[in-house]
Structure 1
Amino acid sequence: MILHTILQFVLAFFIGSIPFGIIVCEFLKLKTPTSYGSGNIGASNVARQNLAAGALTLLLDASKGGLALLLLAPTDAVLLSVILGHCYSPVLNFNGGKGVATAVGALLVSHTSPAIILMTLWGITFMHKRTPALSSIICSLMMLVYALLIPSYCLAAASALIIIRHKSNIYAYQQS
């Protein structure tokens, strides 16, 4: 049983480590997302260069999050692992994205109603502030509250990881 759980965790990590932002940009012959903007491989940074490429990156990153849970197990441990893979991809020397889109896809499979509420909150916050990172941080804080209420330590860890991955954005907000 423990070996099965470890195997799920490892497989989810490697599914998460697929850097779709880079793949999409290479396929479309765009600049690699690590060379402009925030240097992040995620949809928000890719969209700075090309909105369609950003949307495709968002879809693919969310799909890998959902697919990992559908293929392996709809557990919070698998959810955490696929997000860790996205954030610390061995393909990118253990660097990566911030985990938001991957978390959304995974949450839609394992916590559907809260995921829809968080996506709605993200949209409302984005419409008001026009800042994807701020919207993501607020939703991650709400996800953390939810994780502590149910309780799920893996979901809480995933929430905290996403917030930590946004530390450069948090510092930027403090400076403005």
Structure 2
Amino acid sequence: MAGDSINLITSIGLIALAYLIGSIPFAVVVSKLMGLQDPRTYGSKNPGATNVLRTGNKAAALLTLLGDAFKGWFALWLAHRLAGAGNLPSALEGAVAVAVFLGHVYPIFLRFQGGKGVATALGVLFALQPWLGLATALTWLIIAVFFRYSSLASLVAALFAPVYYVFGSGVWWYAQAPVTAALVVIGGFLYWRHRANIARLMRGTETKIGSKKKA
């Protein structure tokens, strides 16, 4: 299917499919399969890897992280395959990226009460450009190691992701305006979803990485 022949119905279908893929709640699924408490009932009540880590079960947190990142990557990979390799229009690519991210943040399977989308956003970045994903992941890791705040690391990484994408254009890839816009939109939602974390960071009461849930 040629990129310029993708009609409106097909485009809507790909976007809807991406949203449904993003809606798969790996934190809840993994916790249930491993006999852990529902992550929506403790800590930040966020169905994501960082909150699952508060149980002390690192394997569950890692599986959640990988699952959430994988669905971000997979949604874009699948869209490219269904559209024909290399023929997914950049506007549709950006829309699919936003859709899978929003699926995680506002999942239909959890009554639109989802996670913050950091891992899914990272998966999207790796699907768009592996080097972009790696640079953003390293940014997250550096901030997390030095400051021990997952939220702060996520906020810094979200800020730099579109910057890396734009300034890397012509060197490692060629930036597309719709994709740049999608990264900005995703970053904006990440900041919105972290507004409570931002307030706690400013008060000095934010929970550090590895802190277990309260009894």
Instruction: Give the TM-score taking structure 1 as reference length.
Output: 0.95
Partner of 1:71: 78
Bigger shift: residues 69-78 or 104-113: 69-78
- 2:69 is equivalent to residue 62 of structure 1: yes
Render the CA deviation track for 1:117-145: whole Å, top value 9, x for unaligned.
11111111111001111100100011243
Partner of 2:106: 88
Which structure has the highest helix share of the two?
1
Equivalent of residue 199 in structure 2, options 158, 171, 176: 171
Once the two structures are superposed, the pairs formed by residues 18-167 of structure 1 within 5 Å of their partners are: 18-49=24-55, 50-73=57-80, 75-146=93-164, 150=175, 151=177, 152-167=180-195
Distance 2:203 2:165 in 1: 30
Aligned-CA RMSD value? 1.4
**Runs of 4+ in structure 1 displaced over 4 angstroms?**
146-150
Render the CA deviation track for 1:41-84: whole Å, top value 9, x for unaligned.
00000011111100000011111111111111372221111000
Instruction: Note if contact 2:19-2:102 (Cα within 8 Å) is conserved in structure 1.
Output: yes
Distance 1:147 1:97 in 2: 24
Instruction: Give the TM-score taking structure 2 as reference length.
Output: 0.78
Bigger shift: residues 73-82 or 36-45: 73-82
Relative contact order (alpha carbons < 8 A, sep ≥ 6): 1 or 2 greater? 2
Instruction: Note if contact 2:69-2:123 (Cα within 8 Å) is conserved in structure 1.
Output: yes
Bigger shift: residues 155-164 or 141-150: 141-150
- Offset, 1:175: 1.6
